Amino acid sequence: MPLDAGIAGLLEFINSSGYPPMNEGSVDDARKGFAALAQASVPGSGPVPVGSVVDASVAGLPTRVYRPTADGPVPTIIFFHGGGWVIGDLDTHDNACRRLCADTDAVVVSVGYRLAPEDPFPAAVLDALNAAQAITQSLEAYGGSGTWAVAGDSAGGNLSAIVAQTIPGAAAQLLVYPAVDVFGTYESRNVNATGRFLDMAVMEWFVTQYLTTHVEPHDTRLSPLHGVRPGLPPAIVVTAEFDPLRDEGRAYAAALADAGVPVDAVDWDGLIHGFLDMAAFSPAADAAIGDMNRRFAALLR
């Protein structure tokens, strides 16, 4: 399928923005560019409305708590943002979390974990685990029901998968184009190596920032594909056609299925890595986000 027209237009906008490719600029430039894209992605009508939004702190980390308008006890979703463990924050994924909250009628707790290169691996993993542990021990203060789940995109999908493998009791996991096998070899990395937002040069730059010491290729704190086992929470794994991470996401879904874990693997033709923040530019991305949120809502209940 050809590249979605709305996504193609967005890529032209990015290429003409004046920001250098992430791997050719500074970390600060990359963070500013990502923040600018996130701001441009908020529709003219404004952010998705929810019941309330409150900034808070969990395990010493900044969090943002989104509450739906629904009454009564609801599930709690712990969300980890993407950005290669280097960029992204609570603000870049604010509208995505708002929509997840509204579409699922669940409380969403977005966690601002430490970023590389200031805090390299395994800082993000430790933060994700500590935050999830604290949140799951206080569910009455969030959704109020005993049901909790994890969700995240890209590097956030990586952290979500690690949390789901480490902390027992999750009801579900939503992994959106997750990075799950950092040192793996996949055809999608060859066919989508350049020109579509996330490319191999940027991926390698992210990994260089994140990994400052030797890490074993099969370390499950980095590549959770190697930690799949029976009994993990049911999962929705979302991948995009023109994404270097497409095939490792598919491999993760297949490994879950082989282990007897219920998994809903959803591939989206015509889309690229990062489409979670691209609904304002692409009706196809908007439809994909709505679809995966509906699937996740059904899984939570």
User: How far is Cα 3 from Cα 23, in angstroms, rounded to an integer?
Assistant: 24
* Set 94, 153, 243, 264: catalytic member: 243
- Please confirm, yes or no, whether 273 is among the known catalytic residues: yes
* Set 41, 110, 154, 188: catalytic member: 154
- Please confirm, yes or no, whether 89 is among the known catalytic residues: no
CB-count burial class (<10 Å; 0-12, 13-18, 19+) for 141: middle
- Please confirm, yes or no, whether 226 is among the known catalytic residues: no
C-alpha torsion angle, residues 150, 244, 194, 214 (rounded to 10) = 80
Bridge partner residues of 238 (DSSP): 176, 266
* Set 110, 273, 277, 282: catalytic member: 273
Q: Which residues are catalytic?
A: 154, 243, 273
